Structure 1
Amino acid sequence: METDDLDWKSELPPAKSLSQTDVPKDIAAMANSGGGMIVYGVEEKGKAATGRSDTGEFSEGHERAYRSVAVTAISPPVFGLEVYRLGVECQAVAVIIPASVDGPHLIYKNDFFGAPVRNDADTAWMKERQIEAMYRARFDERRRATEAVDSLYVEAAEGCDAADRAWLVAVAHPRIPGALTRLTRDEARAVFDDARAITLSFSKNVGVHPLENVEHLNPRPGLRRWVAPNTATGDRSVWKSAWASVHHDGSVSLTAAVGGHRKSADGYFEGWEIEGRGIECAVADFMALIQATARALHHDEYDVRIGIEWGGERPLTVLTVDGSGYTYDGVSTPLRTFTSVRSTVTASATGSDFHRQLHELAEDCVNQGGVTYLHAINPLPADD
């Protein structure tokens, strides 16, 4: 039988003029009802499946048009559709619509709009009070999400000796937390290994990468998390100290010393002097850890906060490099306070989409110090 999270369709909608079909309404109704699945290629009678129906080939162009409708014909857009092609001789297509915290999702017909919702096996329209309640739930969820991220940030920043050197603190919390999933030690090790590979696919090894200074091969259990403790413990290594953790609810935290890095064999920057490349490497490692964790625990969107903690009297200075690669502070803007960078990132994005998110976060961080260009993170493709 069809239910509020399962809808049978006998044939695929046409690839052209998809926005004028029932596709936007069906997707929005599922998103407004906590997510669900639409299956094309199933005959039904009285809301019950009675047999298979061949949908024919579902081309990549058809899929792109389908995903585009979920973004352009629905407000707010519905991201993260999962599309599965099933069968060979008798083909079918299953589309999974994720749960959403951005409801109500509205669709527009000419000058009118409505908020569809699943009512058991049927699609109905929300009444005014239902729309009001869903908006209230959205705003409450945003407040709770902000509180969760801020709580993670305060916890991660507590162990930093910010009086001696500046520390970058980065935390991320999934927008739709799932059930607590306790990774095994081997699975946690695989997440950290995956992150180390991901970060070097988007950045150069020209700065200090925090994930190279944590015990990724032997993570330790923590409070509902796995922790990769710092390995830079000696007096000559403390300047590159770092900690990373992956929580059972999908949250991620990374803390790394970014001030007072070594500048020569026996020379060090001051605690308030931060290499821009050091910030870039830390942001790249942090984003890579988010993506690796999301893959392991099947999360999608994350709320993130990145800040720099410094307790000294001197203002922070972000250093860049000149055309010859030498450290240069001629464009630096002294910072009395570093404003935390907040954003929502899609961890399931791949290729240039994920690269763009990483690039923008790193730019927001170094731009505060007067630095324009990134040097450790690879440039975006020309079409971006």
Structure 2
Amino acid sequence: MTALWTRIHAQLSLPPSELTYEMVREAVAQKVCATDDLRWIPSMPSPGSEDGHDFGTAVAALANAEGGIVVVGVTDVDGAAEKIIPVPVDLAPQRELRALAASCVRPLVDGMVIAPLAAGTGEGGVLVVAVPGSVDAPHVVGELSALGAPYFAGADLRWMSEHQLAQAYRNRFRAAADQRDAIAELTARADALIEPAERTWLVVTAVPARNGKAASPPLPRAEVAAVLEAGLKLGHEAYPIRGDRFDVLRLLSSDAIRNPRTGLRCWVVRSNHYAEPLERDDLVHVELHQDGSVLMAVAVDKLVLREEQAAVGRRVPVKAVEAVVMEAVAVASAYSRNRGRTSLLRTRVEFRTAETDVALLAVDSIGYMSNFMQVVPGSRAVRRPVAVEAELDPIGEVDSLRGFAGRLAQDILHQFGVERCALLG
């Protein structure tokens, strides 16, 4: 998949979408200038040459900041795009660029994508190298006394000073902790809006690995419905449609989806859309944040009929756990695609309840089409469920999203002694 949101999109006032040769051609016609997240290279660089060193330096500099693209096959004058000089776009030059980046940049930049954009005339085209902002920064190029960590300040190439290098290493080592802090903050905010005292909530939170400073524009209110519908569609593609499956997003009314509430740098969609000011959310709570984070909380025990509730403990439908995790992963993926974000999402799944020692019981439907549930034979009650985490590639294929959601759901269900997922297994 090519880059979904780039400086070219921004300069041409285009919405997030896959980058095309026509977009590059229009950017050249408008003489778009190189910036700290867009570089032009006139021809295929070669190992050991000056242009090869320049390419490696550009890759390292982009990875050391918030990412960007290198377009190979475009000349420039003082940074302004001048002319397209077609380069080969078959597999061989793509391998050469990967090998060159691997030989020039240390540590290796993970997640770099090379997209061939053919001109359609049989004369080649341009190669777009999408470089993500790296959690492994700082990346260095050169050898011995010429070793350095580059970065771009606008169109200018600069090199990190000693204190900048020290800060970059501190950022690398605390990146995972920062993500977990962000997840904890989002979850704590949600606790104030939902009813943990009366319900058992399954909360799924996804936070970007790195938030780009050249990020796509905030999600307009009118596009919230499109993101949720795209998430529901992805969820349906990822796991089967059957009578005993929960459709969590379908529990949100059309009014709630089309008219989301305003939150702190986010849109909030809730099942009790017309609730009074003092009422908390009663069943489903979804947040889409400007930085690309997503939170979905569902009162899974409320999905069990009242008369089926156990006198002691709370029942957790195992298929509801699978559905919540799958649909939350699908919404996070759909939101990233809509906004053109490609960075990994640290995803956390946990139960939230005000009672610290409440017994949670895994239940499942008795028959294929039945709404009546019973405790899963051989399962055990869970009083201190453990949160589970993993990193999601939001632009992965459907099978990849399904496998990711299945692993998270399975980690939750294993705590109840449930061996495998029924829908995602």
Trace 1:278-317 onto structure 2 (pairs within 5 A): 278-300=320-342, 301-312=344-355, 313-317=357-361
Choose from 402, 407, 418 the match for 1:355: 402
Change (3 A) 1:70 1:373: farther
Choose from 171, 175, 187 the match for 2:223: 187
Deviations 1:52-78 (A, max 9, x none): 43312x135764785698789853643
C-alpha displacement of 1:295: 1.8
C-alpha displacement of 1:25: 5.6
User: What SS is found at the alignment partner of 1:288?
Assistant: helix
C-alpha displacement of 1:116: 4.3
The TM-score normalised by the length of structure 1 is 0.77
Unaligned runs of 5+ in 2: 1-32, 275-280
Please tell me whether residue 370 in structure 1 is matched to residue 417 in structure 2: yes
User: What SS is found at the alignment partner of 1:207?
Assistant: coil
Deviations 1:130-174 (A, max 9, x none): 433211123354443322221110111234433443211122223
C-alpha displacement of 1:374: 0.9
Q: What is aligned with 2:8?
A: none
Unaligned runs of 5+ in 1: 234-238, 380-384
Q: Residue type of the partner of 2:222?
A: D
Change (3 A) 1:129 1:220: closer
Deviations 1:44-101 (A, max 9, x none): 7898876543312x13576478569878985364325363515344522222323334
Change (3 A) 1:93 1:337: same
Question: C-alpha distance in 2, partners of 1:122/1:247?
Answer: 32
User: What SS is found at the alignment partner of 1:334?
Assistant: coil
User: Identical aligned pairs, as a percentage?
Assistant: 23
Change (3 A) 1:261 1:104: same
Trace 1:78-227 onto structure 2 (pairs within 5 A): 78-79=110-111, 81=113, 83=115, 85-89=117-121, 90=123, 91-105=125-139, 116-118=149-151, 130-177=164-211, 181-205=217-241, 206-216=244-254, 217-223=257-263, 224-227=265-268
Q: What is the aligned residue count?
A: 365
Question: C-alpha distance in 1, partners of 2:152/2:75?
Answer: 20
C-alpha displacement of 1:230: 0.9
Q: Which segment drifts farther, 100-109 or 250-259?
A: 100-109
Q: CA RMSD in A?
A: 4.1
C-alpha displacement of 1:13: 5.6
Question: C-alpha distance in 1, partners of 2:362/2:100?
Answer: 43
Q: What is aligned with 1:236?
A: none
Q: Which segment drifts farther, 255-264 or 151-160?
A: 255-264
User: What SS is found at the alignment partner of 1:259?
Assistant: helix
C-alpha displacement of 1:269: 5.2
C-alpha displacement of 1:324: 8.0
User: What SS is found at the alignment partner of 2:308?
Assistant: coil
Q: What is aligned with 1:32?
A: 64
Choose from 376, 379, 383 the match for 1:336: 383
Change (3 A) 1:374 1:129: same
Trace 1:47-62 onto structure 2 (pairs within 5 A): 51-56=83-88, 58-59=89-90
Deviations 1:255-304 (A, max 9, x none): 1111254369x634565221221111000111111112112222222232
Q: What is aligned with 2:314?
A: 272
Q: Which segment drifts farther, 310-319 or 67-76?
A: 67-76
Change (3 A) 1:67 1:232: farther
Determine if contact 1:316/1:335 at 8 Å carries over to the other structure. Answer: yes
Question: C-alpha distance in 2, partners of 1:81/1:123?
Answer: 22
Question: C-alpha distance in 2, partners of 1:345/1:68?
Answer: 26
Question: C-alpha distance in 1, partners of 2:332/2:204?
Answer: 11
Trace 1:15-26 onto structure 2 (pairs within 5 A): 26=58
Q: Residue type of the partner of 1:369?
A: F
Q: Residue type of the partner of 2:392?
A: V
User: What SS is found at the alignment partner of 2:186?
Assistant: helix
Change (3 A) 1:60 1:33: same
The TM-score normalised by the length of structure 2 is 0.70
Q: What is aligned with 2:283?
A: 241
Q: Residue type of the partner of 2:220?
A: T
Change (3 A) 1:29 1:190: same
Choose from 247, 251, 276 the match for 2:293: 251
Q: Residue type of the partner of 1:219?
A: N
Change (3 A) 1:51 1:194: closer
Question: C-alpha distance in 2, partners of 1:155/1:55?
Answer: 51
Q: Residue type of the partner of 2:299?
A: A
